[in-house]
Chains A and B, each alone.
Chain A
Amino acid sequence: MTFPQQISLGRIARRSGFDTWSWALGSYLIAGVYALIVIIPLYFLFVSAFKDNTSIFLNPLGLPSNFSLQNFFNAIEQAGLARALTNSVAITVSAELLTLVLAFPAAYAIARIQTRMSAIAEAIFSLGFLIPALAILMPVFLTSIRLGLLYNPLMLIIFYPATLLSLTVLLLSSQLRSVPKELEESAVIDGASHLELIWYVFLPMARPAVITALLLNFLSVWNEYLFALVLLNSDSRTVQIAVSTLKGERIVDYGLIAGGVLISMIPVILLFIFSQEKIMQGMFIGAVKE
C-alpha cells in the first residue's frame, strides 16, 4: 500500500528539485512558516484599518464585522494627509526627474567616452555606497539653514538626488556599456553631437535601466524618513512623517494608525503589484555593488 505512494511522493519531490519527499516537506514547512510570519502582521494592519479599537483588540485577526472607512477619514483629517500626500508626490516626482537629468549624462560619459577620467569618476560615485544617511544628517541640516531652505521641500528635492546618484549612475552606465558600438558610430558619422546621441540613441536603448532606476528611486524617496523628519515642518512634511504623528505618546488608536499607514502605502502597493520583479533585480544589483 505504502510502496506506490512513496514512489509518487518521491517523484513529486524530485520534480520540485528535492531528493525526497521529506526534504520537500521540510523545505516547504520552513518557507511556509516564514511566509505566515510575514503575512500575519500585514493582514492585521489591513483588517485593523476597517475596525474600531474595541474590535481590533477583542478579536485581532477576525475580519471586520462592519466595514467602516471612518479610520481613513479620521487619519486624513488628523494627520493632514491630503497636504502631506501632495508634498510627497511633489518631492518624489521632482527628485526623480532631477536625479535622471543629472545621472544620465554622467553615466553616458562614464560608459561611452573613453578617457582615463571615467574610472576616477566611477570610483568617486561609488563612495556614495559607503556614506550612510545618518552620518551626514546633521551637516546637511546645517547646510539647509545656510541655504535658507530649512522646512522648505525644495531642500529635499535638491538633496535626495545626491543620495541616489551612486546607484543610478551605476545602473545606467552598466546598461549603456552594452549598447553596440556600431549603433553609435553610424550616428557619429551622420554628424550627431553628444547630446543628440544621448537623446536619440542612448536614452531609448537604456530604457530598461532607466525604468529600474526610477522604480528604486521612487521607493527610496517616498519611504525616506530621517531627512524628511529633520528638514521639514508640519506644513511641508511628507506622508511618512505625517502618518507617524498618529501614534500618540500615551493613547494609541491603532485603527487610526492602520488607516493612515495604508493610505501612505498606496503607491508602494501598486509598485509591488506591477513591478516587483524589476525592483528585486535592481535591489540585487545595488546590494552587490555596495
Chain B
Amino acid sequence: MTSQTYSGQEQLASKTEALPRGYFRMRRARSRVAFLVLILPAMLWFLGLMIWPLFNMFYLSFFRWNDSLLNPKLFIGLGNYARMLQDQHFWHGIVNSAIYMAVDMPLVLLPGFVLGFFLSRRPPGSRWLRLVFFAPSMLSVAAVNLMFVGIYLPDGILNTLLRQAGLDQLTRVWLADPQTALGAVIAIDIWGSIGYYGILFYASLSNISEELFEAARLDGANMWDLIWRIALPLSRDFFGVAMVLNFIWIIYGSAQNVLILTKGGPGDHSTTLGYYLYNQAFVAYRLGYSQAIAVFAFVLGLLGILLIRRLTRRSEVA
C-alpha cells in the first residue's frame, strides 16, 4: 500500500516539474477568487432568504402593526414583549408546550432507544421492521394528520374499537374534548416519532464497534450489561442530538399538527407556543406582536439547545 502511494507521488512530482515556476502560487491566488465566485450564488441565496428574514423577525417585533399590511408600522420598542408577558393565551401556549414536551420527549426517546438497540443487534426480520418503523417519517404532516382525523372522529376507528371492546364509557370526541384534544395531537407525534428516533438510534448504535460487544460477551456480560454499560453510555452524545431535534420539533413543528387538527381548540386547550405564533401572525393579523412571540420561541430554542448540549456532553473525567 505505502509503496504504491510513494510511487504515485513521485510520478506526480515528475509531472509537476514540467510546469512553469510559480504555477501553484499563482493558482493559490486565483483560487481565492474562484472560491468567492463559486460560493457567491449559494451564499447570497442563503443570506437573503434565511438570515435576512431572521433579522427581520427581530426588527418587526418592535412595531405595532395590526390588521392590514397597508396600515402603518408604529415603533413601540419593547411594547410587544410587555404585552406578551401579560397575554394569558401566550402563557397557555407555554404551558401546553411544556406538557407536550414532558409527555412527548420521554415517550418518544426511550422507546426509540430500546427499538434502536433491538435493531442494532440485527435480529432476523429486522430489515422489515426497519421499513415499518421508518414509514411514518416519510409522510407529510398533512397526510399523517388527515389520516388521524378518521381515527379520532366521533364514529371513528378509536371509538368503534372501544365500543366493540365494551368500553363505551371511554369513548369521546377526542379532538373537541378539552381533556383530550392536546393529548390526541401529542399521540400522533409519538406514533410516528418513536420509529424515526428508533432508526436514528439504530444508525448511531451501528457505529459502535461490534468487537466491543463481543469482548464484553466474552467477559460474561449479559444483555442488561450490554444495554446499560455499553450502548447507553456510548449513546449519551446521541441522546443529546435526539433531544435537540425533538425539542425544536415540539416548539415549532407541533404547530402544523395543531393547525390541521384543532386550530388550538377547544378554547385554548390545544394551543401550543408554535401554533399561537402562527395564529397571531396569520389569523389575528397582529404582525408585530407575532414576531415578538417568534423571537421568544427562537431564544427559547437556542437556550434549550445549549442546555441539552451541556447536560449530555460526556464529562471530561470519564
Contacts and interface: CB of A to CB of B under 8 A. Distances in A.
The answer to whether A and B belong to the same complex is yes
B63 to A, nearest CB: 12
Interface stretch (B93-101, B153-161, B178-186): B153-161
Given A35-B132, A284-B200, A19 B57 contact: no
A101 B245 CA distance: 28
Nearest to B148: A41
A27 B223 CA distance: 11
Contacts of A281: 203
A243 B146 contact: yes
A38 B135 CA distance: 8
Interface stretch (A1-9, A122-130, A205-213): A122-130
A10 to B, nearest CB: 13
A284 B15 CA distance: 42
Given A39-B132, A257-B150, A283 B42 contact: no
Interface stretch (B76-84, B228-236, B290-298, B310-318): B290-298
Given A131-B50, A265-B139, A103 B42 contact: yes
Contacts of A127: 50-51
Nearest to B120: A17
A37 B191 contact: yes
A282 to B, nearest CB: 11
Contacts, number: 290
Given A24-B123, A159-B49, A166-B46, 12 more contacts: A31-B118, A38-B135, A39-B132, A57-B160, A135-B297, A143-B49, A182-B8, A240-B140, A243-B143, A254-B153, A268-B138, A287-B241
A133 B133 contact: no
Interface of A: 15-19, 23-24, 27-28, 30-31, 34-35, 37-39, 41-42, 44-45, 48, 56-57, 60-61, 101-103, 105-106, 108-110, 113-115, 117-118, 121, 124-125, 127-128, 130-140, 142-143, 145, 158-159, 161-163, 165-166, 169, 182, 185-186, 188-189, 194, 219, 222-226, 230, 240-241, 243-244, 246-247, 252, 254, 257-258, 260-261, 264-265, 268, 271-272, 276, 279-281, 283-284, 287-288, 290
Interface of B: 8, 12, 15-16, 19, 27-28, 31-32, 34-36, 38-39, 41-43, 45-54, 56-57, 60, 69, 111, 114-115, 118-119, 121-125, 129-143, 146-151, 153, 155-157, 160-161, 191-192, 194-195, 198-200, 203-204, 222-223, 238, 241-242, 244-245, 248, 251-253, 255-256, 260, 274, 277-278, 281-282, 287, 290-291, 294, 297-298, 301-302, 305
Contacts of B155: 57
Dominant secondary structure of chain B at its interface with chain A: helix
Contact of B199 (A121, A158, A280): A280
Nearest to B190: A37
A55 to B, nearest CB: 12
Nearest to A22: B223
A21 to B, nearest CB: 12
